[in-house]
Structure 1
């Protein structure tokens, strides 16, 4: 039981350190780049940088880890499609991309 508790504590400390470091990086990059690039943009403090990091994670990353094909859900769904369904999907993607040919 103590081994699990120690491992959990190490992981929790590593996560907290990672969040702290990423917050500092976001704050530094924001304060270095944005006020000089865009008129009216102000510098942010550390807590706003961490809040921005959390907001971006919620809006763009979610909390389930990596997206795309990594989870296997999309791959399994693709493998279960018939050849006709795959062609219909490819045709729809061609229209969406505005291209006349599918690139695999």
Structure 2
């Protein structure tokens, strides 16, 4: 069976599998050699075999993750700045009444104390407390 370029698909799959196996073998061999050159001399640790080196690589991937696409701290700070810029743009396009309504909603959400108590609920709570004492 041929692909769109007139090449056989089977050859590409076999080549991919062989190169993948070669890559894993080279990485395992390099890990084994580095371990056996450094760890026994520095820390008096044991020497390891090729299969133990592959096991260490797999363990490291399981513990520390499979991808390296995590964002840096700089990206996180930049996202915060983007959010602030969008918020300022939104506030600039609001009417004074809409701004005042938003400020009131935010102040209700950000009240000090435990939970998100509304002023009326707090007053009712205080009245009940005075009546019981």
Indicate whether the TM-score tops 0.5.
yes
1:32 corresponds to 2:34: no
Distance 1:45 1:82 in 2: 52
The 5 A counterparts of 1:89-104 are none
TM-score using structure 2 length: 0.48
Please report how far the alpha carbon of residue 58 of structure 1 lies from its aligned counterpart in structure 2 after TM superposition. Answer: 2.1
> What is the aligned counterpart of 1:50 among 54, 59, 74?
54
Please, which runs of 5 or more residues in structure 1 have no aligned partner? Answer: 86-104
Please report how far the alpha carbon of residue 11 of structure 1 lies from its aligned counterpart in structure 2 after TM superposition. Answer: 0.9
Distance 1:47 1:34 in 2: 17
Please, which runs of 5 or more residues in structure 2 have no aligned partner? Answer: 3-7, 87-133
> What is the aligned counterpart of 1:5 among 10, 33, 36?
10
1:23 corresponds to 2:28: yes
Please report how far the alpha carbon of residue 55 of structure 1 lies from its aligned counterpart in structure 2 after TM superposition. Answer: 1.3
- Compute the RMSD of aligned alpha carbons: 2.8
Please report how far the alpha carbon of residue 59 of structure 1 lies from its aligned counterpart in structure 2 after TM superposition. Answer: 1.9
Distance 1:15 1:59 in 2: 22
Distance 1:31 1:16 in 2: 22
